[in-house]
């Protein structure tokens, strides 16, 4: 079986492993994660579709489950400022790395990354750990994936926290953005800038974001994170976002994720899941950074706060100075707000 890698990536850069079904993947060496600042948690792994999915677990093992779902191009490191606050509140905190990210295994074929694959992998992860009565905290692609899981099986969830995210409905087979015509590296720039209500650019430059992530010559997670995080952050923290990717063969997932928007119309589409999400009767909290150029606009906030039944009357909150990576900008405050809300909304 040949490995259909992008032409700028060599399979000789790392040992190629295979699942029993034949999917090729790589595994980031443990030493790549040595000495990461403020990330003391021992790794845990669940087997999902023949691959290892890494997760952090902290807090009371008998506490209510809070599932922290990251987006792109980051990994569970994004939640390091929130995990201790939630754990100290007596919650069972679980922060997985999506397949292709962080300490999880990483398929090397770009075609292996599709929206419904990631939904299935997170649902399998919850099955392996036997999670129920879950409160997911979802952001960026973690929101599209996590909210689809809620729509697929709403009875599995006790509450929902949407922090910079939503679940759009895309018509079957519709691909809203063009793909780069070639995978050859190009000199492109990170397209998003922040500022104002929802920032500037937003979805109008999302096609440029797809191209930059997929073929941008200088694309690595640290470039994106440094340009997007609004608080003061150390160089060591920024560098930690690159730790999972010692060479380009490890980066198929983080390069492909923006273009997954073109797979939202895969069958079955999000329409039925969105309808079930909108009918979700249990508490839903919408927490948004107003400087987010993708999810900070009023219409996106209303897609949670107005459209979902369980959001009525909840103490939603906007963070005026927080951007897209709300966990970095206001993580401890956001975690404290979530913990207080969970305590005030006991399960029926």
Give the pLDDT band of residue 325 (cuts 50, 70, 90).
very high
Examine the pLDDT at 195 and tell me if it is beyond 80: no
Catalytic amino acids? Answer: 140, 292, 324
- Which residues, listed in sequence order, are joined to residue 17 by a DSSP beta bridge? 25
Q: pLDDT band at 189, cuts 50/70/90? A: confident
Query: Does pTM top 0.85 for this prediction?
Result: yes
Mean model confidence pLDDT for the chain: 93
Q: What's the confidence (pLDDT) of residue 10?
A: 54
Beta bridge partners of 116: none
Query: Of all residues in the chain, what percent carry a pLDDT higher than 70?
Result: 93
Grade residue 205 by pLDDT with cuts at 50, 70 and 90: confident
Question: What confidence category does residue 11 fall into, taking pLDDT thresholds of 50, 70 and 90?
Answer: low
Could you identify the residue written with the tokens 């929206």?
115
| C-beta separation of 284 from 314 below 8 A | yes
From the list 225, 205, 221, 212, the residue with the least C-alpha distance to 186 is 212
Q: What is the mean pLDDT of residues 48-68?
A: 98
How much is the pLDDT for 29? 96
CA distances from 61 to 94, 133, 241, 279, 314 (A): 10, 14, 28, 30, 27
Go through the domains of the chain in sequence order and give each one's CATH number.
11-344 (3.40.50.1820)
């Amino acid at each position: 079986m040949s490995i259909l890698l992008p032409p700028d990536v060599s399979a000789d850069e790392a040992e190629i492993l295979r699942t029993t079904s034949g999917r090729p993947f790589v595994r980031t060496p443990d030493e790549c994660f040595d000495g990461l600042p403020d990330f003391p948690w021992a790794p845990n792994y669940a087997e999902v579709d023949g691959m290892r999915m890494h997760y952090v677990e902290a807090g009371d093992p008998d506490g209510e489950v809070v599932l922290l779902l990251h987006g792109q191009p980051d990994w569970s490191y994004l939640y390091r400022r929130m995990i201790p606050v939630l754990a100290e509140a007596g919650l069972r905190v679980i922060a997985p790395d999506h397949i292709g990210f962080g300490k999880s295994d990483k398929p090397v074929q770009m075609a292996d990354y599709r929206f419904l694959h990631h939904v299935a992998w997170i649902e399998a992860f919850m099955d392996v750990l036997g999670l129920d009565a879950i409160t997911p905290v979802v952001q960026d692609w973690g929101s599209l994936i996590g909210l689809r899981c809620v729509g697929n099986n709403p009875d599995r969830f006790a509450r929902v926290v949407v922090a910079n995210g939503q679940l759009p409905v895309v018509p079957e087979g519709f691909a809203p953005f063009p793909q780069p015509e070639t995978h050859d590296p190009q000199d492109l720039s990170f397209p998003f800038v922040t500022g104002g209500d929802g920032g500037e650019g937003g979805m109008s430059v999302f096609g440029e974001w797809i191209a930059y992530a997929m073929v941008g010559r200088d694309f690595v997670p640290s470039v994106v994170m440094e340009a997007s995080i609004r608080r003061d952050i150390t160089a060591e923290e920024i560098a930690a976002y690159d730790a999972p990717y010692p060479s380009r063969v490890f980066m198929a997932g983080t390069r492909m994720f923006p273009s997954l928007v073109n797979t939202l119309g895969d069958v079955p589409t999000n329409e039925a899941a969105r309808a079930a999400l909108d009918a979700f009767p249990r508490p839903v909290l919408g927490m948004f950074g107003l400087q987010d150029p993708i999810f900070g606009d009023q219409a996106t906030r209303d897609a949670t706060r107005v459209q979902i039944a369980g959001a009525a009357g909840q103490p939603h909150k906007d963070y005026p100075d927080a951007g897209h990576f709300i966990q970095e900008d206001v993580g401890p405050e956001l975690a404290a707000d979530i913990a207080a809300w969970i305590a005030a909304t006991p399960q029926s």
